[in-house]
Structure 1
């Protein structure tokens, strides 16, 4: 990303900057008070077993801070026109695409079941024009102050990039989509190129994890090494894809959640058997399939049950 880009049209930039400090939401209220069912669903989804989030004295996980302010599909009636006007200006300037980039949260006091949530949001900043791999546009940051019982409980900064998509050479329609490779998972894809399926292993607690993560979700350790998967597994769950039609694929086909003998799970295609013969518990064996000069992907060949399917 080029942090020293020109500001572009001075008039546009001045109009955008004029929105800094303007409210985006005034006197917003949470659609529900802090409650145990939402806390339980959150913890189950993330696998968080911290005892502080259960029982009579339970508190809400701090990272749920934004969840209590969400308006759902209907949105909030306390939203002001300013934020939509700002995004409208960017649309008119050709910045018609948007992507969330990051958020920052500050926790000032724990939230407890029964707390009634109120909040206000302000447009904190609009950046100078930036050029990114996605395209050229502007970073827009909002800051939300969240109160519980009239007391400030935390702040939430949310940043988006509103941009004009960069023009790219269009790939042939039958080109298979490429995986997203970043610094956290590059080692995995390098292993795939060597026909190795690598599983991360925490250097501290030795817990295996997949997909690849920058830190251990069991103990939080940041150091790790890898284990090469033996390649044997079973179908833990699966779906059969019929739609949407896409030239690079040939539906119907089965996509499985494969449980490896090492105990981790990976999503990949189940091949070698008819899609309607795939079953939960079916033994599978790792293979590497080359789709073109650049793309190699791990897939799993199914084995039909003896005496059952034919």
Structure 2
């Protein structure tokens, strides 16, 4: 079937019901309002007390079926989805929603709703793939009174063929005016520590002022590169681009007394131990990125 024929077939579903005489699973209630306000950080006093109303943006919360679902879809909506599946649009993603509020809901209100297939778009091409946007409109009522309207839009699409992904690069460090000198040193294969000009305290990571005395003046000293593993964790999950779990992330205490987060290279993650002596080296990961890492000092 060509695009015009498919679109005409899809357009025939506009105006047909997607759900009929649905009801909210629970009356509007104070506990759910409280949970919503806590999650949203909304302290509006209108949502508490004996004359409380529900936040208008909760409209969909009162009509959602939850994990059990409503089970009240009309045959026309199921048929529409089946037609799209047959056309190869087997994937789906929610894209956006719109809401209109007629009057606020109050604890004790029992909501009912009807949903209609409002529109089906022409064939659209997106980064996800090519398909059709389907918009449904749900009218929410308390008794015969309309209290709000909820429009919900999905994209039913045929997933685009993915190109081979380029090799993942390690994340780039954030370089700013406070730490630029450190990264300049790394490019020169030097691990520079800040030294307070007032109390001579060493500090790492780099900061704009001394955490011991507050003095903003400082110079640098180059670390010897000797250190020990002070602590470590082994990362199994979640996976992160350019890293292959499991791997160890170590906190190395330098001979100068400061600590740095880094890698121990050249050994399995399960052989890393607290107190293990290590020595600094610099590893180049790509044309732009060089990082300080550590290697076990062997006898």
TM-score (norm 1): 0.59
Task: Tell me what 2:148 maps to.
Answer: 154
Pairing of 1:251-270 with structure 2 (within 5 A): 251-252=245-246
**Distance change >3 Å, CA 103–CA 247, structure 1 → 2:** closer
Task: Tell me what 2:15 maps to.
Answer: 21
Task: Tell me what 2:28 maps to.
Answer: 34
Report which stretch shifted further, 91-100 or 50-59. 91-100
Deviations 1:212-268 (A, max 9, x none): xxxxxxxxxxxxxxxxx979xxxxxxx98534667843334699xxxxxxxxxxxxx
In structure 1, distance between residues paired with 2:175 and 2:44: 39
In structure 2, distance between residues paired with 1:155 and 1:136: 29
In structure 1, distance between residues paired with 2:137 and 2:15: 10
User: Could you tell me how far 1:133 is from its partner in structure 2?
Assistant: 2.0
User: Could you tell me how far 1:100 is from its partner in structure 2?
Assistant: 1.3
User: Could you tell me how far 1:272 is from its partner in structure 2?
Assistant: 3.5
Task: Tell me what 2:79 maps to.
Answer: 85
Task: Tell me what 2:65 maps to.
Answer: 71
Work out the number of aligned pairs and report it: 212
The question of whether the paired residues in 2 share the 8 Å contact of 1:176 and 1:249 is answered with no
Deviations 1:20-45 (A, max 9, x none): 11111100000000001111111111
Report which stretch shifted further, 240-249 or 80-89. 240-249
Task: Tell me what 1:225 maps to.
Answer: none
Structure 2: gaps (5+ residues): 178-206, 210-232, 250-259, 270-283, 291-299
Q: Which of 166, 181, 195 is 2:175 aligned to? A: 195
**Distance change >3 Å, CA 62–CA 240, structure 1 → 2:** farther
Q: Which of 51, 55, 67 is 2:45 aligned to? A: 51
The question of whether the paired residues in 2 share the 8 Å contact of 1:8 and 1:129 is answered with no
**Distance change >3 Å, CA 13–CA 44, structure 1 → 2:** same
Task: Tell me what 2:168 maps to.
Answer: 175
**Distance change >3 Å, CA 141–CA 254, structure 1 → 2:** farther
Task: Tell me what 1:127 maps to.
Answer: 121
Q: CA RMSD in A?
A: 3.7
User: Could you tell me how far 1:97 is from its partner in structure 2?
Assistant: 1.5
Deviations 1:244-296 (A, max 9, x none): 667843334699xxxxxxxxxxxxxx954899xxxxxxxxxxxxxx9766999
Pairing of 1:291-306 with structure 2 (within 5 A): none
**Distance change >3 Å, CA 35–CA 293, structure 1 → 2:** farther
User: Could you tell me how far 1:143 is from its partner in structure 2?
Assistant: 0.1
In structure 2, distance between residues paired with 1:88 and 1:29: 25
User: Could you tell me how far 1:166 is from its partner in structure 2?
Assistant: 1.9
TM-score (norm 2): 0.61
User: What is the DSSP-based 3-state SS (H/G/I as helix, E as strand, rest coil) of the residue aligned with 2:119?
Assistant: strand
Structure 1: gaps (5+ residues): 1-6, 179-191, 198-228, 232-238, 256-269, 276-289, 297-310
The question of whether the paired residues in 1 share the 8 Å contact of 2:137 and 2:149 is answered with yes
Task: Tell me what 1:106 maps to.
Answer: 100
Task: Tell me what 1:60 maps to.
Answer: 54
Deviations 1:156-206 (A, max 9, x none): 00111111122231215x63699xxxxxxxxxxxxx786249xxxxxxxxx
User: Could you tell me how far 1:129 is from its partner in structure 2?
Assistant: 0.8
